[in-house]
Amino acid sequence: VTLFQVVFNRHCSPCDIKELICSSSNFPRSACPYSHNSDSVFLLTEKEDMFQNVLSQVAEQFSRAFRITELKTEVTNRLAMLEKRVELEGLKVVEIEKCKNDLRKLMDEVVSRGGGRMNCSCKYSFSDDGKKLTPRRDVPSYPKYTLSQETIEALKKPAFDVWHWEHNEMLSCLEYMYHDLGLVKEFNMNPITLKRWLLGIQENYRNNPFHNFRHCFCVSQMMYGMINLCNLQEKLTLTDLGILMTAAVCFTLVCLLAVRYNDISPLENHHCAVAFQILSLPECNIFANVEPEAFKQIRQAIITLILATDMARHGEILDSFKLKVDNFDFTNEEHVTCLKMVLIKCCDISNEVRPTEVAEPWVDCLLEEYFIQSDREKSEGLPVAAFMDREKVTKPTAQIGFIKFVLIPMFETVMKLFPQIEEIMVQPLRDSRDHYEELKQIDDAMTEKKKTENMSLGGKKK
């Protein structure tokens, strides 16, 4: 005779246990021997295999009753989901941004050590830049701001102060411009796609002192201002307006900090490549509903405008416009293309049109970017452009010649076609020229005073 012990929960009644064992083993209820106390039941049986069969059937019935397998699967799946959420949501935004910055710095270091005089257009590929243009199927998460009527009116003016706006607010302002100009309706844009595209553009700007997303917003807002000021909605087609705005938004994408050669055309080509790399993503293609042939023309027109911002072509483009401006024909495609090229050039370098307190910080940012570049060029034994050398350039000297010989002549030529810009755009440029000439006079007087003092000290020492 073999004695086995089966342990049940103390809360089970003797009758329940007897009923379960008898029904499982096919014993008559009167013939099933067991003894019971508060902790256990002792079951005596003559055949071990009979009792194993009882236990198996009991276990099976418990499993069925409580759905043990399904419960285990459900728990496992829920744990996996929780682990995934921890993985996706556990990283804080600050930590993610820090990782991104660290990656950018590391990539810049790798590039700076490995390229020598390599041409920028092949040295910096999309992957080398550390940016992956991945599709964004999610709805962009930047907040939707309700612009006040005061802000809406200010956006239309060249004097708009661009320094008081966060990136999310600037994105919302750009979105508003596209809707207000009728471009969303004209090109049958999906509003969510427009959001994704703007966000993709913003994410692909570097945090350079000058050529950054705020500069992009500056150029775009000035273009929007000129469209309103010059009543271009009545003179140009909506397609032309869309080309102007889109070129303004993305013409300095992924602008490189250190350009190690004098011919910067490859840089403009690089901007075009990144812009259309983003547009090639279905989730970001704001022209997805445009006919293929029309899109080819839009694409070529945007490329033409972006390449027009190369200052090496400044004289050529302005001279061409001067030949047309006195007899300008808005029905002539060549005339309109030339006008669009001049307009984006104006917006690109229009900071001095704004009030001094808005414009002057941009000069500091640009000089900082120039000086960082020239310092790197000096350390690598490369030639340095005089206008970028911190030992030769001051704020007044950097601005006076640029305003007198580049900005004012170009804007005065545009003024022949649009006289209304004189008071709002051309006069501020003249005021800015006078401001920096006064600063130069002060700097010259201080320099002369120091020379006199040094000569006087030298004489005393002798």
Tell me the pLDDT tens digit for each residue of 181-209: 999 999 999 999 999 999 999 988 888 89
Q: Which of 105-114, 178-187, 353-362 has the lowest mean pLDDT?
A: 105-114
Fill in the amino acid letter for 308. Answer: A
- For 91-200, strand residue ranges (E) read none
- H helix or E strand, kind and range, residue 6: strand 2-6
Query: Does the pLDDT value for residue 461 go beyond 90?
Result: no
The pTM of this model reads 0.68
* Domain range enclosing 13: 2-82
Q: Does residue 131 form part of some domain? A: no
In degrees and rounded to multiples of 5, residue 44 shows phi and psi of -110, 130
In degrees and rounded to multiples of 5, residue 2 shows phi and psi of -110, 135
**So what's the pLDDT on residue 146?**
83
438: domain CATH number? 1.10.1300.10
Measured in whole angstroms, the distance separating CA 325 from the mean position of its chain's CA atoms is 37
Which of 82, 104, 134 terminates a domain? The answer is: 82
164 annotated as belonging to a binding site for a ligand: no
**So what's the pLDDT on residue 34?**
47
Tens digits of per-residue pLDDT, 208-233?
899 899 999 999 999 999 999 999 99
**So what's the pLDDT on residue 65?**
61
Q: Does residue 139 form part of some domain? A: no
Instruction: Give yes or no for a contact between 411 and 431, defined as CB atoms under 8 angstroms apart.
Output: no
Q: Are residues 75 and 185 in the same domain?
A: no
Q: Catalytic one among 11, 179, 211, 314? A: 211
Q: Does residue 383 form part of some domain? A: yes
Token pair recorded at residue 306: 């972006």
Q: Does residue 345 form part of some domain? A: yes
Which of 57, 82, 107 terminates a domain? The answer is: 82
Tens digits of per-residue pLDDT, 283-325?
999 999 999 999 999 999 998 998 898 888 999 999 999 999 9
Q: Does residue 362 form part of some domain? A: yes
CA pair distance 45, 43, nearest whole angstrom: 7
Q: Higher pLDDT residue, 20 or 169?
A: 169
Q: Are residues 74 and 172 in the same domain?
A: no
Measured in whole angstroms, the distance separating CA 75 from the mean position of its chain's CA atoms is 40
Q: Does residue 266 form part of some domain? A: yes
State yes or no: is 211 an active-site residue.
yes
Q: Are residues 209 and 314 in the same domain?
A: yes
**So what's the pLDDT on residue 123?**
29
Q: CB-based contacts of 254: which residues, under 8 Å, 6+ apart?
A: 124, 129, 131, 204, 205, 206, 270, 271, 274
**So what's the pLDDT on residue 85?**
56
215 annotated as belonging to a binding site for a ligand: yes
Angle at Cα 416 formed by Cα 328 and Cα 174, nearest 5°?
85
Confidence of residue 138 (pLDDT cuts 50, 70, 90): low
Tens digits of per-residue pLDDT, 63-101?
666 566 676 677 677 666 665 554 454 444 445 555 555
Q: Are residues 157 and 10 in the same domain?
A: no
In degrees and rounded to multiples of 5, residue 36 shows phi and psi of -135, 140
Instruction: Give yes or no for a contact between 163 and 358, defined as CB atoms under 8 angstroms apart.
Output: yes
Q: Are residues 45 and 154 in the same domain?
A: no
3-state secondary structure string across 418-433: CCCHHHHHHHHHHHHH
Q: Does residue 429 form part of some domain? A: yes
Q: Does residue 349 form part of some domain? A: yes
Q: Are residues 62 and 178 in the same domain?
A: no
| Rounded average pLDDT over 23-38 | 52
Token pair recorded at residue 95: 């930590």
Q: In terms of Cα–Cα distance, which of 219, 235, 220, 242 is closest to 295?
A: 242
Could you write out the DSSP letters of every residue in 33-94? -EEE-SS-EEEEES-HHHHHHHHHHHHHHHHHHHTHHHHHHHHHHHHHHHHHHHHHHSS-HH
Q: Are residues 301 and 204 in the same domain?
A: yes
Which of 56, 82, 108 terminates a domain? The answer is: 82
